Amino acid sequence: MTEPTDVDDDPSVTSRRRFLREGGALMGGAVMAGGLAGGDALAATENADNLPPNVPEWMKTPGDPMGSQLYGTPSPFEKGVIKNIPKDLQQYLSASGRTPLQDLDGIITPNGLFYERHHSGVPTIDPAQHRLMLHGLVDKPLIFTMDDIRRFPSESHVYFLECSGNPTYKKPYGKTASDLVGLLSCAEWTGVSLKLVLQEAGLQPGAKWVVAEGADAAAMTRSIPIEKCLDDAMLAYSQNGERLRPQQGYPLRLLLPGFEGNMNVKWLRRLHVTAEPTYSREETSKYTDLMPNGSAREFTFYMEAKSIITRPSGGQRLNEPGFHEISGIAWSGHGKVRRVDVSVDDGKSWQEAQLQEPVLTRALTRFRLPWHWDGQPAVIQSRATDETGYVQPTLAELLAVRGDNYFYHNNAIWPWRIAKDGEVTNANA
């Protein structure tokens, strides 16, 4: 029986899905080829009557009235900037939709394009009927309504969130930045410090883990070490200024800055304080890395330093030689990005890129490097170093140490090949 699973589950399903995605990629490709890397998405509809020195038609009559859109949506000309979900897979309960990283600027992911990954569909939860139960090794077990949660002092922080199956180690590798690492997004989260909520209940001696459970049909369950719970863990109810989207865990999710996406339990309904981890499916069968010597890396928690060039990147085209800004994103679960180096000569030499402010801990950091493309074939890539001094490895280095018995936690450098005609493709594919 084939169970519908996804990127961070069964590798055979992953490759089947990749195959399906490539079959359905033609239409998306047309959208992506324009509008990127110097192209003009609207060139096809160019009309000289609207170009200087003429007065364009949209200046000759008033525009749409107020109230035509009570919740704003992007310009119709941006309709190609959408989540990356293979068409054939949209009916699956266990699925993922990727952020179109190559189409975005800055470091914040708009809520409508935030990646989504769920194991049993997206529940529709009435916040008035939602409760958070806190029990186990506490002095006073408590049940909170959403109003109770919102009475705690609030805080807001910008953090990235990344699935640990992003990308897997299994070939074929994706064509675009989104295919490769689009299970990654970044938002300003608002909520309450988990520490405050735990203090309200009073932790008992021996409290070492907090087991979090989601209110979806998967009852997603993960054990969180108490140190993280008393540090920067949050119970988040808003993202980018508005309430969480249903896909992100409305009305309440756990947000564990820098920890693998899976531990950030959505639709959070229960926190059980325990002495031991619970060894749930998600921390034994899944999200655990089988090493070449047969031992398993489990409870790895933090996502390691990583970066990718998003422009120019796979699926895009450089229209002509000359000036092109190389731009991308870097991040580390361990803290701030300290530097990003970029190579434009297949890794022979590296130049330090400029980091765009703000450089925040456990958030995406935008980097850029001015580049003159001489029109010859080139391989470009970026390499992140975080504040601990850790340097992002190559795929070969990573495979040499960890093997490929498993497919989580791939933070390898990802090179793009630029052909003489300007076409950009995945150099590892």
Ligand X SMILES: Nc1nc2c(c(=O)[nH]1)N[C@H]1C(S)=C(S)[C@@H](COP(=O)(O)O)O[C@H]1N2
Find the part of the chain contacting Mo ion (CB under 5 A) among 7-15, 52-60, 356-364, 409-417: 7-15
Nearest-angstrom CA–CA distance, 347 and 367: 18
CB of 113 to ligand X, least distance (A): 11
Of 9, 103, 179, 216, which one interacts with ligand X (CB under 6 A)? 216
Of 266, 270, 336, 338, which one interacts with ligand X (CB under 6 A)? 266
**By the rule CB under 6 A, 247 interacts with ligand X:** yes
**By the rule CB under 5 A, 262 interacts with Mo ion:** yes
Q: For 154-178, give one letter per residue: b (16+ CB within 10 A) or e.
A: eeebbbbbbbbbbbbbbeebbbbbb
CB of 46 to Mo ion, least distance (A): 43
The footprint of ligand X on this chain (CB under 6 A) covers a number of residues equal to 21
**By the rule CB under 6 A, 271 interacts with ligand X:** no
Nearer to ligand X, 149 or 161 (CB): 161
CB of 348 to Mo ion, least distance (A): 35
Nearer to ligand X, 249 or 415 (CB): 249
**By the rule CB under 6 A, 115 interacts with ligand X:** yes
Of 36, 134, 163, 398, which one interacts with Mo ion (CB under 5 A)? 163
* Residue of 310, 329, 378, 319 whose CA lies nearest to 34: 319
Handedness of CA 50, 54, 56, 60 (dihedral sign): negative
CB of 408 to Mo ion, least distance (A): 9
Find the part of the chain contacting Mo ion (CB under 5 A) among 86-94, 140-148, 256-264, 400-408: 256-264
Find the part of the chain contacting ligand X (CB under 6 A) among 45-53, 117-125, 188-196, 357-365: 117-125
**By the rule CB under 6 A, 212 interacts with ligand X:** no
Beta carbons within 8 Å of 114's beta carbon, 6+ residues apart: 99, 185, 187, 239, 245, 247, 248
**By the rule CB under 6 A, 369 interacts with ligand X:** no
**By the rule CB under 6 A, 304 interacts with ligand X:** no
Q: Which residue is nearest to Mo ion (CB)?
A: 163
Residues 149-188 as x/- pattern, contact with ligand X by CB under 6 A? ------------x-x-------------------------
**By the rule CB under 6 A, 8 interacts with ligand X:** yes
* Residue of 341, 344, 345 whose CA lies nearest to 382: 341
Of 36, 146, 236, 265, which one interacts with ligand X (CB under 6 A)? 265
Residues 84-123 as x/- pattern, contact with Mo ion by CB under 5 A? ---------------------------------x------
CB of 265 to ligand X, least distance (A): 5
Interacting partner of 21 out of ligand X, Mo ion, none (Cβ under 5 to 8 A depending on kind)? none
* Residue of 80, 191, 79, 90 whose CA lies nearest to 144: 191
Interacting residues with ligand X between 95 and 114 (CB under 6 A): 114
CB of 113 to Mo ion, least distance (A): 17
Find the part of the chain contacting ligand X (CB under 6 A) among 55-63, 152-160, 216-224, 363-371: 216-224
User: Can you give the binding site for ligand X, defined by CB under 6 A?
Assistant: 8, 114-119, 161, 163, 214, 216, 218, 220, 247-248, 261-262, 264-267
User: Can you give the binding site for Mo ion, defined by CB under 5 A?
Assistant: 8, 117, 163, 261-262
